[in-house]
Amino acid sequence: MKKPLLILIAGPYRSGTGGDPAAIARNLETLEAAAAPLHRLGHVPMIGEWVALPTLRGLDETEAAQTDVMYETAARLLQHCDAVLRLPGASAGADNDVAIARERGLPVYHRVEEIPAA
């Protein structure tokens, strides 16, 4: 068995929602739907919002206004990730994740079926 990969699942979260909480929740569900298939392949799925949302809740308004916690968290996570799974849909954040991954020489997958099992 090969070493399990830590794979960042990147796709729309706030994009295209107009700030509608229900639409944002549906986007998170879409991201999370990719987690179990990655687990089945022997890998560790990661979604930036899983880390960023609790962090954002812990910041006061001034701190939160000074940085984009979502983008910054994803950039920090990518220092530890082995690959990115880019899900369909327009998303500046996910596009940024892909750009960072490519700069670091990490594989970027567009379908779970492309990812080799651990």
Q: Where are the domains of the chain?
A: 9-114
Q: Which CATH architecture has domain 9-114?
A: 3-Layer(aba) Sandwich (3.40)
Question: What's the pLDDT band for 63 if we cut at 50, 70, 90?
Answer: confident
pLDDT in tens, 1-31: 589 999 999 999 999 999 999 999 999 999 9
Q: For strands 108-109 and 44-46, give the pairing.
A: unpaired
pLDDT of residue 35: 98
Question: What's the pLDDT band for 64 if we cut at 50, 70, 90?
Answer: confident
pLDDT of residue 42: 97
For the purposes of burial, counting CB atoms within 10 Å of the CB of 68, is it exposed (0-12), middle (13-18) or buried (19 or more)?
middle
